[in-house]
Amino acid sequence: MNATTSADARHLIANLLFTYAEIADRKDIATVTQLFGDAVVTFPSDGYDRRQDAEGFWTRLWGNDTVHRHDISNLVIEPLEGRRWQARAHYSRWVFQPDPVLHTLGEYELTVDIDTEGTVAQLAALTVKRTWTLG
């Protein structure tokens, strides 16, 4: 049975997602590789399932000068077995050209492990889907 309450899990998972958005907006490859390197990450056209491939993936994804910002909404979480949780959320990605333009609408699907104290959420898997992309 999962000892973490839904409220605690929601808080931890939301914090993990918002931290990811902040890292993505900075394009901080070192930090995302450290934080999510052990996860299985799947995007529509790329991804990784081994830590040694994480840095190359994030470099390919964010290796340009495009300034962007992510907004996250509609977070839903569900308990799985043990200390594992499943979550999904919507995201929007704004690109600054120089004015903000809505560029992408999509969904995040996550599998998250929460430690035995119920204080740390560790990403096990992230799938990013793109419902709509400009152009």
Q: Is residue 11 part of a domain?
A: yes
Cβ atoms 15, 121 nearer than 8 A: yes
Tokens 């309450």 map to which residue? 5
Q: If you average pLDDT over every residue of the chain, what do you get?
A: 95
How many structural domains does the chain have?
1
Q: Is residue 77 part of a domain?
A: yes
Helices 6-26 & 29-36 angle (0-180, nearest 10)? 150
Q: What percent of the chain lies above the pLDDT cut of 90?
A: 93
Dihedral sign from CA coordinates of 125, 17, 91, 79: positive
Residue 1 pLDDT exceeds 70: no
Q: Which is higher by pLDDT, 52 or 3?
A: 52
Q: Is residue 1 part of a domain?
A: no
Q: Where are the alpha helices (DSSP H) in the chain?
A: 6-26, 29-36, 51-62
pLDDT of residue 115: 94
pLDDT of residue 4: 78
Mean pLDDT in residue range 112-116: 95
pLDDT of residue 2: 53
Q: Which pLDDT band, with edges at 50, 70 and 90, does 135 fall under?
A: confident
pLDDT of residue 42: 98
pLDDT of residue 93: 98
- Tens of pLDDT, residue by residue over 57-108, are 999 999 999 999 999 999 999 999 999 999 999 999 999 999 999 999 999 9
**CATH classification at residue 49:** 3.10.450.50
User: Containing domain of residue 111, as a range?
Assistant: 6-133
Write out the two tokens for 66: 């495009």
